[in-house]
Chain A
Amino acid sequence: MELDAKVPDGPVAEKWTNYKFDRKLVNPSNRRKYDIIVVGTGLAGGAAAATLGEQGYRVKAFTFHDSARRAHSIAAQGGINAAKNYKGDGDSVHRLFYDTVKGGDFRSREANVYRLAEESVRIIDQATAQGVPFAREYGGLLDNRSFGGAQVSRTFYARGQTGQQLLLGVYQQLARQVGLGNVELHNRTELVDVVVVDGRAAGIVVRDLLTGEISSHSAHAVVLATGGYSNAFFLSTNAMACNVTAAWRAHRKGAAFANPCYTQIHPTCIPQSDDFQSKLTLMSESLRNDGRIWCPKDPDDARPPEQIPEDDRDYYLERRYPSFGNLAPRDIASRAAKIVVDEGKGVGPLKNGVYLDFADAIGRLGEATITERYGNLFEMYERITDESPYRQPMRIYPALHYTMGGLWVDYELMTTVPGLYAAGEANFSDHGANRLGASALMQGLADGYFVLPNTISNYLAPQLGTRPVPTDHPEFAAAELAARERFDGYLAIGGTRSPDSFHQELGKIMWDYCGMERTRQGLEKALSEIPALHEEFRKDLLVTGSGRDTNQTLEKAGRVDDFFELAQVTCLDALTREESCGGHFRAEHQTDEGEAERDDEHFAHVAAWEWTGDPAAPTRHVEPLEFESVALAVRSYK
């Protein structure tokens, strides 16, 4: 397998412009001769499907939700970055590019990140034109806030519902195309396999979630925009249905999977309260604009927070990182919280959290301003915990949130399978080893609105006059048969344990050994436990009901099965990356002060794994990362 990133020539600031001129085009009247499949209708998939439909291609879009408005992009709270420099505080495309490369701990591809920063500006224009109600100043111009890892205000927001409003913008664009007949939308339909014929993506096999029917769809190109894999850890901030199946099925058909060990732990989630918990809830990073994070200095301090005097509190982020303080990037803030909780200074009934305190901000700005900024987040917190953040500090703890790793893609967002593209969180491309806050919405929309619609024609143009592979081709028939056997197989095991019980156990192994801090010993243990548990899953799974109607237990079984295989390559990737960078922290590789220690000499590269048929023994390939515009440096937020 060869990893050719196809980065265009020229200085970093001119690559994208040059590329757009040099690529092959499809003339508008010829576009209707091409079929494109888009899987997933979140920010990346929905935007790609709508835009390709507008351009005149025939698009088929697939979502496992009941409507294209439900994808988990909707839950993003805080905002979206853009290098608009509306605040005149020194922001620029180059600064957003630099912050993102540095924030990613120098493990991303420069050219992709620069393009992302360039397109960020147009995203805000596009979303505003669609009617996304971004927050405004009294003069009517757009407002901004700050997010972690940046010293400028460049985050646009719509109350605490930025993801919702951006996704509804995408959904409305898509709905218009559906109404016009340019996009054919298949809801409640899940991808179960990717079909490759003669080395090219030929189409997909899907399962109708209401009838269990398996069917095939073919096209000239296939786009996967199916999100991340945080749910491999069972407890995460992801929605319940988020899964890795689409990406994993593509991987099994030849698409390399890059940097799976780059998983992001978000520092501000509501701590787990008991074993029954099904997911963790995020409290937006934007809260760190006004909230101060602290824990008691004395592990045995049992006083309620308001009775602990200033001198007995440790504002550990402000102490360790004076210049970024409470807005230190996510990986750093998460690890700092883990350190104090591990020292026994955790707060709350299970001593598994730290305080995020708004008392100072309420005193300085008044309760009304705080309500305007964070009202809905405070309400959500109170509903879940029965505690009011206006009266007592929030309790927060890190949780799995986002996965920077994903399908390997070149500059055009094409995977190692020609004609198969990956966009949004499903690919690995822009965030390196750590994603900065408010950058996920930016990347999803950049990929969907501006990157894919420009790069896909380069692949399609030479195919003018060809037809998609017919769905009665033997490769489709074989994939359909395999899918039917797979789902019938889960039902036939007749064991004693539900898919959820296996998922929970897998998640615990991953969190314990491949979570915030990883060691060689722990990862080796995980790599011996996961295959054993997977074997037990194959023998002792219990799925009730039938495969011929709606069966959520059966859907879950398929997703958990794929998580088992992904979990192994994630641990293997973490084991072989003998350095600490961003969200990947190996206890063996840290400085005397406990900071991550990169090894640029040996690991300034992307690790992309190739499926070999044995989930325990994939082949590791390397794409070297070259830094021409940004000097490799120790990432300091002090």
Chain B
Amino acid sequence: MTELSLTLKIWRQAGPDQPGAFDTIAAPGINDEMSFLEMLDVVNERLINEGKDAVVFDHDCREGICGTCSLMINGQAHGPQKGTATCQLHMRKFADGQEIVIEPWRATAFPVIKDLMVDRSTFDRIVESGGYITAETGGASDANLTPIPKPVAEAAMDAAACIGCGACVAACPNSAANLFTAAKVSHLNLLPQGQAERFSRVEAMVDTMEDFFGSCTNHGECQEACPKEISIDFIAMMNKDYLKSKFKNRRTLSRT
């Protein structure tokens, strides 16, 4: 165990329509075995003990799976460790004396609520528009009725691993949500169960996405920032299905 003495520059913003600014907070005596969020817990305890407001940030499971945590750390979504959400990042990745800049996700579609907390409900709107298979409770056939080749199930699982944290949007220079949307589209469109709604799904989800987010210009930053390392190949799959949908969802649908 080593002790780190850090200088934090944390974005503080009182509310959605308030101006924000960086607050410089000294953080001495940080144990390098702590996770990044445990370090923030320690900082918040100190702030409370000084009678100051704690820094607001989203977090919950601290196991890298719920997707609640966020944070731009020194300009990188979820910080410097590849394939790692902020809650799984540990302080041993930082050096004694280092300055760490901590910001919220920056995107028009994710307005800041307070300090480091943002509103990601636009992701829910995308899923509500078609990110599901219509299979109402009670009518399912036996699960082994339709064998699914292992590579297909594996590819669907690779896409389904998305935790919906929004790092892809935060990392994208255009604030595009194509990786998030493509992950859900591909998860469902790859599977036999998803075929019935394949083209209506992709059309509805992409159109909803474009109501809120910027456009993809193939920078690939999203894939680099993704804590689950979801591949941008899925964006290509989504684009292909979207193009097809523009034909299939019209009158020819009944003839395919």
Interface residues of A (CB under 8 A from B): 47, 50-51, 54, 65-72, 74-75, 84, 86, 122, 124-131, 133-142, 158-159, 161, 163-165, 168, 171-173, 175-176, 178-179, 187, 210, 239-241, 273-274, 276-279, 281-282, 379-380, 383-384, 386, 449-450, 453, 496, 498, 500-501, 542-545, 549-553
A172→B61 contact, CB < 8 A: no
Can you list 18 pairs linking A and B with CB atoms under 8 Å apart?
A: A47-B137, A72-B60, A72-B61, A75-B65, A125-B142, A126-B137, A126-B140, A127-B143, A129-B193, A175-B128, A178-B124, A276-B41, A383-B89, A384-B35, A449-B137, A496-B49, A549-B14, A553-B53
B54 within 8 A of A: yes
Contacting pair A137 B150 (CB below 8 A):
yes
Q: A453 to chain B: which residues have CB within 8 Å?
A: 137
A281 in contact with B15 given A66-B68, A140-B150, A172-B127 (CB within 8 Å): no
- B156 x A131 contact (CB < 8 A): yes
A500 to B131, CA, bound (A): 38
Contact B60–A70 (Cβ < 8 Å): yes
Q: Cβ of A124 and Cβ of B143 under 8 Å apart?
A: yes
Residue on A nearest B118 in the bound complex, by CB:
A66
Taken residue by residue from 32 to 74, chain B's Cβ proximity to chain A (1 for < 8 Å, 0 otherwise) reads as 0111011001101101110111101011111111111000000
Closest 8 CB pairs of A and B: A140-B147, A179-B128, A172-B132, A129-B140, A129-B135, A128-B143, A125-B140, A133-B157
Q: How large is the interface on B (under 10, 10 to 19, 20 to 34, 35 or more residues)?
A: 35 or more
The answer on a CB contact under 8 Å between A276 and B31 is yes
Residue B236 at the chain A interface, CB threshold 8 Å? no
Contacts A140-B150, A549-B114: A50 and B137 contacting too (C-beta < 8 A)? yes
Residues of chain A contacted by B123 (CB below 8 angstroms): 67
Taking A65-B68, A274-B31, A544-B51 as contacts, is the C-beta distance between A136 and B60 under 8 angstroms? no
CB pair B164–A136 under 8 Å, yes or no, is no
> Closest chain A residue to B164 by CB distance?
A69
Residue B129 at the chain A interface, CB threshold 8 Å:
yes
Task: Please determine whether A133 and B84 come into contact, CB atoms closer than 8 angstroms.
Answer: no
User: 1/0 per position for B119-152, CB-CB distance to A under 8 A?
Assistant: 1110110011101111111111111100111100
Query: In whole angstroms, what is the CA distance A122 to B41 when docked?
Result: 43
Segment 1-29 of B: residues with Cβ below 8 Å from A:
1, 14-15
- Most chain B CB inside 10 Å of its own CB: which residue of A126, A139, A552: A552
| Nearest CB of chain B from residue A159's CB, rounded to whole Å | 6
Q: Does B37 contact A136, Cβ atoms closer than 8 Å?
A: no
Q: How far is the CB of B126 from chain A (nearest CB, A)?
A: 9
Q: Taking beta carbons and an 8 Å cutoff, which residues of B are in contact with A?
A: 1, 14-15, 31, 33-35, 37-38, 41-42, 44-45, 47-49, 51-54, 56, 58-68, 81, 83-84, 88-90, 92, 113-114, 117, 119-121, 123-124, 127-129, 131-144, 147-150, 153, 156-157, 160-161, 163-164, 187-188, 191, 193-194
Given A67-B120, A278-B62, A383–B67 Cβ distance below 8 Å?
A: no
Which B residues are CB-close (under 8 A) to A65?
60, 68
Q: Which residues of A contact B150 (CB under 8 A)?
A: 136-138, 140
A131 with B68: CB separation less than 8 A:
no
How far is A489 from B191 in the complex, measured between Cα atoms in Å?
A: 54
